[in-house]
């Protein structure tokens, strides 16, 4: 009985910690096919900001990885907001963060709550930011507000006008 009591108490004390599992983010980003003479896939940066627009963490960066002599890196500066907040401090490529540009269509990004950024993210209000820039094209930024570690599932949606299509976020 003496051995059972400490085990039961530690089980009860540990139960709330086990039930506080971090949420998962699912993001869908639509890249429209533009009818232009010379089409280039857009560079896209996805990150989190606090309500005051201060940087909270990177989620993904899509850029041209295959250009000779890492020439794709020099165009990352066209993602101006992302570049100023964190891009210039990174040495690309970054494992688990950077990837190739995407073709036109809808692309899904699933980020598990166990991801180091999300696992260490304090509860509160945030914005998911998606910025796209295209060579010979324009630049566009969409912000989707959400509350991290809310007790209910959340969804947010924004629509771009030229470089981005519909962007949807669900937090579960």
Q: What are the residues whose beta carbons fall under 8 Å from the beta carbon of 6, sequence distance 6 or more?
A: none
User: 80 in helix, strand or coil?
Assistant: helix
Phi, psi for residue 82 in degrees, rounded to 5: -65, -45
Q: Supply the pLDDT for residue 15.
A: 38
Q: Supply the pLDDT for residue 96.
A: 87
Q: Report how far residue 42's alpha carbon sits from residue 40's, in angstroms, rounded to the nearest whole number.
A: 6
pLDDT tens-place values along the chain, 172 residues long: 455 444 444 444 443 333 345 689 999 999 998 888 888 899 999 999 999 999 999 999 999 988 777 788 888 999 999 999 999 999 898 988 999 999 999 999 999 999 999 999 999 999 999 999 998 789 999 999 999 999 999 999 999 999 999 999 999 9
Domain boundaries, the chain: 21-171
Q: Supply the pLDDT for residue 21.
A: 53
C-alpha dihedral, 151 to 167 to 127 to 73, nearest 10°: 130
């Amino acid at each position: 009985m003496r051995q059972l009591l400490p085990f039961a108490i530690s089980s009860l004390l540990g139960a709330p910690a086990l039930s506080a599992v971090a949420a998962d983010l699912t993001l869908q980003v639509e890249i429209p096919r533009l009818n232009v003479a010379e089409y280039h896939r857009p560079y896209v940066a996805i990150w989190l900001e606090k309500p005051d627009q201060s940087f909270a963490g990177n989620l993904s960066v899509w850029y041209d990885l295959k250009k000779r002599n890492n020439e794709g890196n020099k165009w990352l500066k066209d993602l101006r907001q992302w570049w100023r907040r964190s891009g210039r401090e990174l040495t690309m490529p970054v494992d688990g963060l950077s990837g190739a540009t995407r073709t036109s269509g809808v692309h899904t990004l699933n980020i598990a709550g166990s991801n180091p950024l999300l696992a260490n993210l304090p509860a509160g209000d945030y914005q998911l930011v998606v910025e796209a820039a295209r060579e010979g094209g324009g630049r566009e930024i969409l912000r989707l507000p959400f509350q991290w570690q809310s007790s209910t599932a959340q969804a947010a949606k924004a629509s771009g006008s030229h470089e981005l299509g519909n962007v949807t976020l669900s937090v579960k």
